[in-house]
Amino acid sequence: MNAFERAFVYLNDPFNWTRTDGLGIGTLLREHLVISVIAVLLAMVIALPVGVALGHSGRGSGFIVALSNVSRAIPTLALLTIFAVTPIGFGNRATTIALAVFAIPPILTNTFVGFREVDRDVREAARAMGMSTRQVVFRAEFPLAVPLVMTGIRTAAVQVVATAGLAALVGGGGLGRLINLGFGQSDYGEVVAGAILVAVLALLTELVLVVVSWALTPGQKRLPFTQRRRASGVPEPTAAGVPL
Amino acid sequence: MADNWSTILRYLGEHVRLTIAAVVIGALIALPLALLARRSRWLAGPVLGVSTIVYTIPSLALFAVLTPFTGLSVTTVLIGLVAYSLVILVRNFLAGLMAVPEDVREAARGMGYGKVRLFVQVELPLAVPAFMAGLRIATVSTVALATVGVIVGHGGLGQLIVGGFNANFYRAEIVTGALGCVLLALFADLLLAGLERAVTPWTRVQT
């Protein structure tokens, strides 16, 4: 049996899903999701207001560019350990904070760019119609910025789900533990099973958020998957997209 | 003290070798792919689509899946790193080539440039800034990603991070590894920025 067949066997054994010693796939999956969701929400709470404020005023572009460049250079593993060596200690709390820090740059940069790119004329027209600053931000700029803001959140969420797998290397929980344990026992079936689970979860996250961002984008709706690509095939710009 | 330095230098060396090899191999594969994708718009969609999917696959999972085939070797890490650098490089190479204005191409053709000369003397220089931007992003993120190679025992400076973690949370070692990565990434970025400046003298001409 090669590793993939063994992974298949591993994934089909109900015992591996429901065992209660903290290593059941169900438990680890829940742990993985809880860590990821909290991290992304935490990052959104911090990054969205800052991104909106900076994007609306158009200031701080130097800071944003520097942030998105530097964030690419920080090794994930290092970030995951940095909070662990502070008084926060090891475990899931340190992991969650590290992942939140990790998710801030993509959300912040995309929100900033989204609000920044709103046409000047639109902004002035909204103001001329008597909208207050708050109304301009929420009723004119926000709907136009939604696609980019959602791209940022999507990038961040997929990164977080993927990176949460690394947490097991430094004492955290989540699906990465299967990979780590498998390596420890030279059980490559378990390793591949864990890898497949993390990869599928990351792809599902991407898929779900594509649908969500399609639903949230105001205006004429076309199904995201039937949409024709622009004929030129120009690659869309990615903001701070580090694959993990 | 001297002992630590030899360890650090060994891991640093591995890190640098992995990064250079991954980016160079990635660039060598990416250029023909980008040229192919530009030639037919039917290929551009799949090439960009595949690269988006590769992006979502976690590095840990990729290394783990490769292990049964390539073992606990440097090859495993290298294949993973090349795959990720490829994703960034193809996008940027393609964007750079597409950004060459059609007028310029027409003018060159009108002056009797053949396909090869058009590419080497006109399109390539114009696309250099986009190429270099791609190389810089790919290099920096490869430096960061190489640390994950620790899962198969070839993670360069990542070895220090996890090693320190396993050695009863030895903070000095963890911080050395982490800081080393960041400094290496910044140094590589500066080096490539300097190279870009050197190969595009025309962007500095005062008007």
Lowest mean pLDDT of A180-184, B85-89, B179-183, B189-193, name the range. A180-184
pLDDT > 60? residue A232: no
Structural domains counted in chain A: 1
Beta strands in A33-118 (DSSP E): none
Q: By the CB < 8 Å criterion, does A59 face chain B?
A: no
Lowest mean pLDDT of A127-141, A196-210, B149-163, name the range. B149-163
Q: What distance in Å separates the CA atoms of residue B170 and residue B99, rounded to the nearest whole number?
A: 50
The ipTM value here is: 0.72
Confidence (pLDDT) at A241: 39
Q: What distance in Å separates the CA atoms of residue A27 and residue A17, rounded to the nearest whole number?
A: 8
Single pTM value for the model: 0.79
Domain B2-200 CATH (choose: 1.10.3720.10, 3.40.50.450, 1.10.760.10, 3.40.50.10490): 1.10.3720.10
Q: Which CATH number goes with the domain that contains A160?
A: 1.10.3720.10
* pLDDT band (50, 70, 90) for residue B1: low
Residue among B11, B42, B48, B56 with most chain A CBs within 10 A, to mutate:
B56
Residues in chain B closer than 8 A to A202 (CB atoms) = 56-58, 61
- Which of A77-86, A133-142, B16-25, B113-122 is predicted most confidently? B16-25
Q: Which domain holds residue A174?
A: 3-243
The domains of chain B are located at: 2-200
Residues in chain A closer than 8 A to B169 (CB atoms) = 84-85, 90
More confident residue, B76 or A186: B76
Beta-carbon neighbour count of residue A99 at 10 Å? Answer: 29
Q: Once rounded to an integer, what is the mean pLDDT over residues B103-124? A: 89
Nearest CA distance, A243 vs chain B (angstrom)? 5
CB B192 within 8 A of CB B136: yes
Residues in chain A closer than 8 A to B191 (CB atoms) = none
Find tokens 């709390």 and name the residue. A93
Residue B144 has its nearest CB partner, among A75, A183, A231, at A75
Residues in chain B closer than 8 A to A203 (CB atoms) = 53, 56-57
Residues in chain B closer than 8 A to A73 (CB atoms) = 140-141, 143-144, 181-182, 185-186, 189
CA angle B45, B60, A196 (to 5 degrees): 70
Q: By the CB < 8 Å criterion, does B171 face chain A?
A: yes
- Residue pLDDT, tens place only, A91-117: 778 888 888 988 998 899 889 988 888
Give the single-character DSSP code of A98: H
CA proximity to A176, closest of A39, A20, A36? A36
